[in-house]
Amino acid sequence: MASDDNPLIKALPPAVDYLSYLTILEYNLTLEQLPLLHDILQDTTLTANIGWDLVHLLLPLLPESQSCLQDVARLGNPREVILKVTELLEALNAPDGNTVEDDEKNEDQVGGRDSQERPDEEDASLTVPKHVGDSTAREGPSR
C-alpha cells in the first residue's frame, strides 16, 4: 500500500469508526486514490461494513472505479449492496428528478390519490358502516 501519510491509510479502523472512515473517504477520494482504495477494500470486514455506502461515491468515478465497485459487490454485505444499487437506479429512472422516496412522501401528503377526481363513490368505501360501533344495532343470541 501507499505511504502512511495518506489519510485513507491513517484513518483505517480501528483508528476511527466506520462511519467516520466513510466521511474521510468522501472528502479524500479522487481518481488517483482509487488503486489504493482497491487495495484497502480487500479487507473483508471493512468492505462488509462500509461497501454499501461507497457505491454512490464510486459511480461518478466510473470507469476508473470499476475494480472498487467489483470489490464491493464481491466482499460487501450483499443485501445492503443490492438495496443501495436499487435505490440509486430508481433515482436515475425518476422522470422528474425526484427519487422514489420523494414521490412516496408526496403521495402521503395528498393521501395517496386525488380526491377531486373521484368523488363520493370511493369516499363511501372509506366510511364506517353504521352498524359498526353502534350499540343499538347489536343483535345476538339472548341469554
Each residue's pLDDT tens digit, 31-42: 999 999 999 999
d(CA 20, CA 129): 55
Q: Which three cell numbers stand for residue 4?
A: 502512511
The residues near 104 (Cβ < 8 Å, ≥ 6 apart) are none
Three-class SS state of 92: helix
Alpha carbon 132 to chain centroid, angstroms: 41
Note whether 71 and 41 are within 8 A (CB).
yes
d(CA 22, CA 49): 10
The residues near 29 (Cβ < 8 Å, ≥ 6 apart) are 8, 37, 57, 61
Identify the H or E element spanning 88: helix 78-93
d(CA 99, CA 103): 6
Quote the pTM value: 0.61
d(CA 72, CA 55): 8
Model confidence pLDDT, tens digit, residues 84-139: 888 988 887 877 656 555 556 655 555 544 445 444 544 554 555 555 555 554 55
Mean pLDDT of 26-30: 94
